[in-house]
Amino acid sequence: MIYRTTYQAARVIAPKMEAIFAQHLNAASESGEEDLAPLPTANVVEAIIDATFWASLRKEEGHSPKISLAFLPPQQAGNPLLFKQRLPLNPGTLTKIAPGVERAGIHLGIWIEEGELYVWGTTVSIPNFCFVVDVSEPALLVIKHRRIYGFGKFTNLAVLKGDQVKVVDGHPISLPDCPPVLLSLLDLTAPSYWNDSVNVLIQLAVSMRAHGRGGTLLVVPNETRNWLQSIIKPIQYGIQPSFTGLSKLLQQDRKEASQIFWQTALKREVEHLAGLTAVDGATVISTDYELLAFGAKIGRAKGKENVDELSFSEPIVGGAAIVMHPAKVGGTRHLSAAQFIHDQRDATALVASQDGHFTIYTWSQHQNRVQAHRIDTLLL
pLDDT in tens, 241-289: 999 998 988 887 655 455 677 778 888 999 999 999 999 999 999 999 9
DSSP character string of 255-278? GGGGSHHHHHHHHHHHHHHHHHTT
Q: Quick one: pLDDT at residue 313?
A: 87
Q: Quick one: pLDDT at residue 335?
A: 94
- Give the integer Cα–Cα distance in Å for 355 and 322: 22
Q: Quick one: pLDDT at residue 3?
A: 53
CA-based nearest residue to 131, from 33, 32, 3, 13: 13
Q: Quick one: pLDDT at residue 357?
A: 87
- Give the integer Cα–Cα distance in Å for 180 and 186: 10
For the chain, what are the domain ranges?
6-165, 178-376
Q: Quick one: pLDDT at residue 254?
A: 56
Q: Quick one: pLDDT at residue 314?
A: 83
Contact 335, 326 (CB under 8 A): yes
Listed in sequence order, the residues at least 6 apart from 179 whose beta carbon sits closer than 8 Å to its beta carbon are 348, 360, 362, 373
* Residue numbers in the chain where pLDDT is lower than 70: 1-4, 147-153, 170-176, 187-197, 253-259
Q: Quick one: pLDDT at residue 151?
A: 47
Average model confidence (pLDDT) for the chain?
A: 87
- Give the integer Cα–Cα distance in Å for 52 and 69: 8
Exposure string of 360-369, with b = 16+ CB inside 10 Å and e = fewer, is bbbbbeeeeb
Q: Quick one: pLDDT at residue 218?
A: 96
- Give the integer Cα–Cα distance in Å for 263 and 271: 12
CATH T-level fold of 178-376: YojJ-like (1 (3.40.1700)
Structure confidence by residue, pLDDT tens digits, 186-200: 765 544 554 466 788
Q: Quick one: pLDDT at residue 217?
A: 96
